[in-house]
Amino acid sequence: MLIKRLLLSSIITSLMAISATAQGSKKARKFMVATANPVASQVGYDILKRGGNAIDAMVGVQLMLNLVEPQSSGIGGGAFLLFYDAKRNEVSSFDGRETAPLKAKGDLFLKEDGSPMKFFDGVVGGRSVGTPGTLKLLEVTHRNFGSLPWEDLIQPTIQLAEKGFRVSKRMAASVERDAERLRTFPATKSYLFLNDNTPIPEGTLLRNPDFAQTLRLIAAHGSEPFYYGEIARDIVRTVQEAKGNPGKLSLADLRNYWVIERPPVCHDYKQYQVCGMGPPSSGALTIGQMLGMLSHFSLDDLSPNGPKFVHLFAEANLLAFKDRGLYMADSDYVDMPIKGLLDPKYLEMRSKLINSSRVSDSMSPGVPPTALNYKLSPDASMELPSTSHFAIVDAQGNAVSMTTTIENGFGSRLMTRGFLLNDELTDFSFRPERDGQLIANRLEPGKRPRSSMSPTLVFNSKGQLHMAVGSPGGSRIIPYVAKTLLGVLEWNMDIQEAINLPNIAKNFGTMELEVGTSAEQLKADMEQIGHKVRVRPLTSGLQGIVVTPSGLVGGADPRREGLVLGE
């Protein structure tokens, strides 16, 4: 029944994805799912309709995204999950981030002369592949919180992989844009290119029987074949035999992988509590710093599209990223002043560095309370925009906010058994040290690379769930989510209106304004007060759900192919 409904509705939902933006936010009374792809949203909806819970829907959504949006996420990558258990009134956060192979050392991305490689020289091939965590995350959380049978949640993706799905406009454009790199490896080339060596066009009926067979094994045996058995052996062989750029991943790395349940990082913003993922994600900490600094300005008197707010937001963005670059990394390997970075008095002090009428000259890392007294060197390692995010609220009030990735678009470009492998190791600093001082986000065996992924849950003053939100977008995820939170929490916007706000970012010194939006018109004003400005595409993929007294309100980013469905 489930797969029949999916196949019959796939064309309809594709058309609905276009109309959803024009119609504004989606409203529902019982349950809701918001994902980056209409087919994935339909799977989540069908699972919730059958009585499944948010975790059940999460499993179905993620596996379907692996099939229909392979450039962004999948079982060859990693994910961060925030889960709200309504019955226990508890928030849990689960770290399914990839880990560095045990044989990988800090010089993995250094050339023979000691200088760092060019970024894509490190990305393409086995060198960049970390131990995947997404499948283990799905299995562990489903075992603890799921309600429907594991194998039933996988069947829709198995059947669609066999029958074929229509390649979306975004997927086709992604293949065409990256065609040269994707042709590097035979398995990837044979899947994503036609017989005449041209990239698959939009509308192509694409079948993936190899992925269907992989999922059959996983449906029958769980993650065991992936981490211990025949799938594991194929993953390692693919990585270690990658022509021209082999990697270090081994069977021992897969067998030793585990998902970590970590305490969520929560902070107050006015009457709300905002909760996110802690290290190795920098998302919750950096967003918390931005909101904490901005709380010392009267934002409610400003227009979210006006020059005064854009200036303040950008300066808070840059100040928070200064601390991020110096202190934030995998806290299992690096002593981090987590509480100090969010200390209200520290953030008040940092906010005073922001001049409300011109660019400040005092943008450097601070010294938060509890910071250890040893010297670190700042890091500005690249984290490119790919990834996917989805939000789910079920009929029992449970909620999922999950950001999932294979890092760069199409990851390492290596494909095995129908899925792509991540290039997550490139989220580490390519340099382990600078001028004799260690970099917190340096590569070490078993370490998890720093991330900007920011799955977020918000609670009101009564402790009730108010919002689930997140985005893809590399390091720009942080300002994307921050502006959406402010839209809802500060200006009481509808979630779709908040998502639609122009994107702005100032992560590393240059202010970026989203092309084709009202923000573009602020370029001259921003330059006049001292900002270096670049107008460019800022393609977020925000998905969000707000819980109101009258029901659920959902929004999907018009910049991608997202769709909200609910009942």
Active site residues: 387
Nearest to 165 by CA among 388, 10, 33, 34: 10
Determine phi and psi for 240, rounding to 5 degrees.
-75, -20
| 8 A C-beta contact, residue 275 and residue 264 | yes
In the three-class reduction of DSSP (H, G, I as helix; E, B as strand; rest coil), residue 341 is classed as helix
| 8 A C-beta contact, residue 563 and residue 556 | yes
Residue with tokens 């670049």: 534
CA dihedral 533→537→539→540, nearest 10 degrees, is 20
Residue ranges in 26-133 assigned as alpha helix (H): 38-49, 54-68, 119-123
Say how many C-beta atoms besides its own lie within 10 A of residue 28's C-beta: 19
Residue 55 corresponds to which amino acid? I
Q: Please report how many Cα atoms fall inside a 13 Å half-sphere around the Cα of residue 71, on the Cβ side.
A: 24
As a whole number of angstroms, the distance between CA 499 and CA 485 comes to 9
Cis peptide before 279 (omega within 30 of 0): no
Sequence length of the chain is 567
Distances (CA, A) of 416 to 151, 191, 335, 368, 413: 22, 11, 37, 45, 10
| 8 A C-beta contact, residue 74 and residue 418 | no
User: 92 has which bridge partners?
Assistant: 83
Determine phi and psi for 86, rounding to 5 degrees.
-65, -35
